[in-house]
Amino acid sequence: MFLKLTTPPEIDCAEPPVVDALQQAVITHHDDDSLVKRNVYAAMELVTAHTSRQLLTATWTLYADRFASEMQLRVCPVQSVVSVKYVDAAGALQTVAPSAYQLDAVSEPARLVPAHGYDWPNTREEMNAVRVEFLAGYDDWYSVPERAKQAVMLLAAHWYENREAVLVGTISKEIELAYDTLVSSLKWSAV
């Protein structure tokens, strides 16, 4: 199985994540808004990569060679399934009716299973024959866990102040320790 970010979240410089980052870095002018926005995007991508937790609503696609009895959507929180498609034995792309499957969005990772009385259809034996498109992420910035917001702000402000990969003459692991502690508390695991 393979997950691909299909449509990333969109934010502009006036939206809360960028405004929060400007405050975190104590930036009182708007000359660097686009730089701060890029830092926020990169920090959100990193937090998502480290936690499998999508911060703002985005579209993801799960690709699989065949249906499993339980399809795990390994980015959370899952809001809804947009579509479940598969390549049939004749090579045609088909769509599974929404009434034929159930989404358990409470579990982390979310689970997609056939509805009562249904089975997954047979697929053609080829790579990526199954495609599940779904929306994941919190409804808005205010719904994002504070630990995740803090990790994003910490990184965005740090990257704003330190634009090179190496700090000469500085020995500090505090940023790394703080970030690791925050993202570790956001990770989930299958039970």
pLDDT tens column, 6-57 = 999 887 766 777 777 777 777 776 777 778 788 888 888 999 999 999 999 9
Using CA atoms, how far apart are residues 159 and 156, in angstroms rounded to an integer? 5
Strands (E), 38-89: 58-64, 71-73, 78-87
Q: Which two tokens stand for residue 139?
A: 């409804």
With contact defined as beta carbons under 8 Å apart, do 153 and 141 qualify?
A: no
Q: Which domains does the chain have, with CATH numbers?
A: 2-55+140-184 (1.10.3230), 58-136 (no CATH)
Ranges in the chain, pLDDT < 70: 13-14, 29, 163-175, 177, 189-191
At residue 171, the pLDDT reads: 52
pTM of the model: 0.85
Q: How far, in whole angstroms, is CA 141 from its chain's centroid?
A: 14
